[in-house]
Structure formats: structure tokens, C-alpha cells
Structure 1
Amino acid sequence: MKPFAIWLSAVVVLFGGYALVASSLRETTQVFVFVDSSNPMAPVWGDVQRRLDDIDDRGDAEFALAHGQSRQDELDHSWQSELTLSGVQPFAPCSFDAIDSSREAAEADERILITTSSSCDTSALVDWDVVFLEP
């Protein structure tokens, strides 16, 4: 029984060390998420945090989050492991003119917009993944 315990201990240490090294060498992706907080988002506002939770379930990424409408874009947080949007209510008309003007948007490896199909036109947003929430 003693040789088995020694072998098992060696295997656990070996694979534990491998997992630690592999996770520390894994490259982190920076993802910038922009939440449309204009009037057309009001009917689906309760779904926004659930969608943010789905996005931040990725273990290989760090996230920056901003929200805005009508050229009043506000950074909620810079790079961190979770997406947290609080104290924001949809208001004002929609505009995505300055959506990628922040430093975080420029640095990001991936950019995601959360909006509705009844908000602004998204056809001019190149290299953005657009997530449409529907009522």
C-alpha cells in the first residue's frame, strides 16, 4: 500500500504543477464590452446583467465595461475579471459615434456591443461583435 501512496502523491504533484504552469502561461484576451444605455434598451434592461455574466464566464479574458448613449460614454470599469454594471438606467436617444474612443476600446483584442435591433444602426461598427437583446 505504501508504494501506491507514493506513486499517487507523485502523480498529484506532477499534474498539479503542470496545471499551474499551463494556466500561468496562457495568454489573456482583453475584451471591451459596451452596453447601449439608450431609451430603446428599457424593455430588455433586465437581461443586460445576465448577458454580461455569460460573457465574463470566459476564464481566459479580462474585461473593460462602458455604457452610453448620445456621445456620453462612461467607463464603468477598466480591466478586471468580471463585468459589473450597476446604477445605470436607460435614457436619452442612441448614438454609437464615439463608441471606440476610449483607451480600453483601442487596446482590446475583442470588442462587444450589447444593444437591441431597435436602437442605432450598427452597420458602421467594424470588428465589433454585436449582441442583440430582444424583448
Structure 2
Amino acid sequence: MKPFAIWFAVIAVAFGALAVTTVVTRRTEQVFVVVDSSFPMVPVWARVPSELDRIGARDHTEFALATEKRSIHPYRAELGRPTGEPFAPCDFDALDAYADASVADDRILVTTPGSCDTDGLTGWTVVLLTP
């Protein structure tokens, strides 16, 4: 029985060390999230916080948040919320100008169908909130 206990302790310590090493050396991912804040988002605006909570549940991730009109916060551990109400038409021309977008490992757009033309957004994950 004693050899089994020693073998079990050695295996437990080895796997524990492997788990700690994996967690400590894992690279933090940077995710750039853009929330469409144009007129067509009015019917789904109340659902944006729950979608951001779902996106923000990732481990080992930093988030930058913006709307297509302005930056809300740079990279940090928690994903914030856009303030105000949707206004004006949608325009994605300024997205490439955000410094946070250029270094992101992943880019996510939260929008609604028909709000903006997303065909030009290559490499983006588009989350559609339907009314």
C-alpha cells in the first residue's frame, strides 16, 4: 500500500506542477469589441449588456471597447459598457484608426441585421442581435 501512496503523491505533484506552469505561462489574449451605436440598434440596445457579459467571460483576456463613433476604454481585464443611446447612421470608416484594433488578437462587432454593411470587415467576428 505504501508504494501506491508514494506513486500517487508523485503523480499528483507532477500534474499539479504541469497545471500551474500552464496557467502561469499562458499568453493573455487581446480582444477588441465594437458595439454598433446607430439608429437600427435601438430595438436591441437593452440586450447589449448581456452580450458583452457573454463576451467578457473569457479567461486570460484583456478587452478594449469602442463604438463605431468613439473609443470607450483601452485594454483591461473587464469589459465595460457603452453609455447613452444609439444615434446617427452607422459608419465603420474609422474602425481601422483605433490603435487597439491594430494589436488585437480577435475583433468582435456587436450589431443588428441591416444596420451596417459588414462585408468589408475581414477577420472580424460579427455578433448579430435580432429584434
Alignment partner of 1:114 is 2:88? no
Residues 35, 67 of structure 2: 8 Å contact kept: yes
Q: Give, as a single letter, the amino acid of the residue that structure 1 aligns with 2:61.
A: A
Residues 67, 82 of structure 2: 8 Å contact kept: no
Long gaps (5+) in structure 1: none
Report the alpha carbon displacement of residue 18 of structure 1 after superposing the two structures with TM: 3.5
Map of 1:126 onto structure 2: 122
Aligned residues: 131
Report the alpha carbon displacement of residue 51 of structure 1 after superposing the two structures with TM: 0.7
Alignment partner of 1:58 is 2:54? no
Report the alpha carbon displacement of residue 88 of structure 1 after superposing the two structures with TM: 2.6
Matches within 5 A, 1:65-84: 65-68=65-68, 73-84=69-80
Map of 2:42 onto structure 1: 42
Aligned mates of 1:93, 1:40 — CA distance in 2: 8
Long gaps (5+) in structure 2: none
- In structure 2, the CA distance between the partners of 1:12 and 1:88, relative to structure 1 (3 Å rule), is farther
Report the alpha carbon displacement of residue 78 of structure 1 after superposing the two structures with TM: 1.0
% of aligned pairs identical?
49
- TM-score in terms of structure 2 length: 0.84
Aligned mates of 2:71, 2:112 — CA distance in 1: 20
Residues 61, 77 of structure 2: 8 Å contact kept: yes
Deviations 1:14-66 (A, max 9, x none): 65544332111112211100000011101000111111111111113211110
Aligned mates of 1:76, 1:10 — CA distance in 2: 49
Aligned mates of 2:82, 2:105 — CA distance in 1: 25
Q: Pick from 94, 101, 104: which aligns with 2:100?
A: 104
